[in-house]
Amino acid sequence: MSTVKIPPVLRASTGGAKEIEASGANVGDVLRSLAEQHPATESQLFSEGGDLNRYVNVYLNDEDVRVLDGLDTGVSESDTIVILPAMAGGCR
């Protein structure tokens, strides 16, 4: 099982959980496993074609998967996946 860190804006979709254990051989499998456990996350992570949404950054440990093999990047048990949508605030 890998650990997926859930950003604040997605926690409503994971019942408030900040970290989810999910299994899979690559980043895409792990995220799809997350989406199976918490279906509300699916549309936020994936576009209709099954690709990662452009506004969601995903990191394997500290490296952006866009510079690795994207969703095909291999994952081992001890890895942490960080989901990071952009945050805008600022607080007036």
Partner 1 sequence: MASGADVIRRIKDQIEEVDPKEVRDLSQNGNGNAPVIVDVREQHEFEEAHLPGAIHVPRGHLESRIEGAVSDRSQPVVLYCASGNRSALAAHTMQELLGYEDVASMRGGITLWKDRGYEVEVPRALTGEQRERYSRHLLVPEIGLEGQMKLLDARVLLLGAGGLGSPAALYLAAAGVGTIGIVDNDVVDLSNLQRQVAHSNDRIGMPKVDSAEVSIHEINPDVNVEKHPVRLGADNIMEIVEGYDVIVDGLDNFPTRYLLNDASVRLQIPVVSASILGFEGQLSVFHPYEGPCYRCLYPTPPPAELAPSCGAAGVLGVLPGVMGLLQSVEVIKLVTGAGDTMAGRLLLYDALGTTFTELKVRRDPECPICSREPDSISDDEMGVFPDYELFCAGAG
Stretch in the footprint of partner 1 (CB under 8 A) among 7-15, 21-29, 31-39, 70-78: 7-15
Binds partner 1 (CB under 8 A): choice among 48, 62, 76, 77: 62
Stretch touching partner 1 by CB under 8 A, among 22-30, 32-40, 62-70, 71-79: 62-70
The rounded distance, in Å, linking the Cα atoms of 29 and 24 is 5
CB of 77 to partner 1, least distance (A): 19
Our CA angle for 86, 35, 45, nearest 5°, is 25
Which residue is listed with tokens 């001890």?
78
Residue 70 has which token pair? 């994207």
DSSP string, 23-50: --SBHHHHHHHHHHHSGGGHHHHB-TTS
Should residue 9 be labelled a site residue for partner 1 when binding is judged by CB under 8 A? yes
Q: Which residues inside 27-56 make contact with partner 1, applying CB under 8 A?
A: 44, 53-56
Of 23-31, 33-41, 69-77, 79-87, the window that binds partner 1 (rule: CB under 8 A) is: 79-87
